[in-house]
Structure 1
């Protein structure tokens, strides 16, 4: 009696500025293991360190699945933020020992899109600390709007919201407004000073991304006129990114990132403007690991949309480990 061959496996990685996460799943969509490590964006930690962190998380995940797991992987996809700095040498360096296939590198936008839908084509808007929109086709980012970082773009992002909150506070302080609005008062309380020069000095003493920590004050003081103005301007910037892509009406739009998906004044304004501007089906991104694994599935097998649903359901039942 012949032995039954072990099932084929898929490997997916979601690598960003907050964490590096890797998952292994069966071809049928059952997630067998998850491992997580430190941030792996190559623009932040460098390509060599990024590749080392991806490989470490992948090897840890494969070890959790069991002996010989690496040899059973038939497709691997890495969704990478900052992917412009990656090349073939980077991919080789991320490859775990014993893996028989070279991973495919895709944009983190493609992973975010495919986390929410099995559809091959559509659009994605990511608004978190940064902001970017793109058109996705078969796992490839075909067009992009913004995502240029805090210095050159990311309008409507968490960074932008925080910066605008501080800027409005400076305007009120410099004009000698006797009673600050709720948002400005909260900024002053956090900084511990009403002196405009001291406010500026405190901000320049920190890395630029620090300004994003003030974004939550816009949501907390959503009734303040300044916060309302900031939220609506942010929504306008974000909607413009999608509209400028001229979305085909039958293709889904996936929203990702805390600014676009968490309840609050920006999301409310954004969703209202999207209702008025676009008729596209609207979805919310799930775990990026689902997107990476789904794209890996398409690399090796005929498309079966039911697998996407099983990936989404089983990822939540699988605990991860920090490596």
Structure 2
């Protein structure tokens, strides 16, 4: 019986688990962001090594291999440099790089066919066939897409506040919340050229942020209650995400449907609205989505599957239950 290392390397955090062939998770570790695109190779490798070392703890023994779930462009990275950096872990059979989208799907199902939709900072959907990504929509980054996800929501929030401050848009409860987050007083005196002082500060401070940092304002949409502007933003986000999911459907929503990312898993109203629109436009029955925390359980499933270990319902349940226990 072998032990495998499974790693979910995200942009803000990296999670690792040591899993046995039986599906029993033996150790868990976490570290900072592990995406090579956003963190650079060395920063990514340090995070992967730190999370993995914590997961291994004092277990000792040989680790068969490491399966690393990475996003988008990172999938083009050759495994050899990463293997050299992970050499202290004592991997006997190298490194396998997998898609974080596929790992998210397998965090909600052990079946080899189905669909996944992720909406965190970015947004992407996939159709999975035969344990491989058969079709992918969006996931193109803040400049080209990621429609309906965290960046998109945050950008719509600050746009709505800017419009409210100079009279181009309706009053919204989002204004007070955004100004508070940016430490801007709503009573800032009007500037000499006619622009409200609070708006001028909003412009200055918003453009000082990296574009992707606008996602910090996304949670405000879910905390604004019945505010019409916030509800409109949420509704448009759901429509965008439904469009992304519909783009990868082929013959209906057969098999399991997995939702990941905080916009869907914490913004329940958006997840429900996505499903309502998909049901209307798909023209057939749709399975209830399985909500998953991240792609770590799926990385463990992939680590076993890719090395010839059969993952059935019992093994899948063992992975998810033992991982949850380790996380506490």
Name the TM-score, length of structure 1 as normaliser: 0.88
Give 1:61 deviation, angstroms.
2.3
Q: 1:86 aligned to 77, 95, 99, which one?
A: 77
Contact 1:118–1:305 (CA under 8 A) maintained in structure 2: yes
CA distance in 1, matches of 2:100, 2:325: 23
Which structure 2 residues correspond to residues 1-323 of structure 1 after superposition, within 5 A?
7-64=1-58, 66-70=59-63, 73=64, 75-82=65-72, 83-97=74-88, 98-175=90-167, 180-191=171-182, 192-194=184-186, 195=196, 196-247=199-250, 248-278=252-282, 279-281=285-287, 282-300=289-307, 301-319=309-327
Answer with 116-125 or 216-225: which moved more: 216-225
CA distance in 2, matches of 1:264, 1:188: 26
Give 1:95 deviation, angstroms.
3.6
CA distance in 1, matches of 2:180, 2:57: 49
Give 1:85 deviation, angstroms.
4.6
Give 1:86 deviation, angstroms.
1.5
Deviations 1:55-79 (A, max 9, x none): 3332342243x22142xx2x53111
Answer with 235-244 or 132-141: which moved more: 132-141
Give 1:116 deviation, angstroms.
0.4
CA distance in 2, matches of 1:38, 1:190: 24
The gaps in structure 1 that reach 5 residues or longer are 1-6
Contact 1:133–1:144 (CA under 8 A) maintained in structure 2: yes
Answer with 272-281 or 157-166: which moved more: 272-281
CA distance in 2, matches of 1:313, 1:86: 32
Check 1:108–1:265 CA distance in 2 against 1; reply closer, same or farther (3 A cut): same
The gaps in structure 2 that reach 5 residues or longer are 187-195
Give the alignment's Cα RMSD to 1 decimal.
2.2
Contact 1:54–1:94 (CA under 8 A) maintained in structure 2: no
Check 1:36–1:100 CA distance in 2 against 1; reply closer, same or farther (3 A cut): same
Give 1:176 deviation, angstroms.
6.8
CA distance in 2, matches of 1:253, 1:123: 5
Tell me the number of residue pairs that the alignment of Structure 1 and Structure 2 aligns: 309
Answer with 297-306 or 154-163: which moved more: 297-306
Deviations 1:172-225 (A, max 9, x none): 222277x82222343334442453232111101122222112112111113111
Residue aligned with 1:180, SS: coil
Contact 1:55–1:96 (CA under 8 A) maintained in structure 2: no
Moved over 4 A (4+): none
CA distance in 2, matches of 1:148, 1:107: 14
CA distance in 2, matches of 1:268, 1:184: 26
CA distance in 2, matches of 1:46, 1:291: 24
Check 1:16–1:90 CA distance in 2 against 1; reply closer, same or farther (3 A cut): farther
CA distance in 2, matches of 1:272, 1:166: 27
Contact 1:222–1:265 (CA under 8 A) maintained in structure 2: no
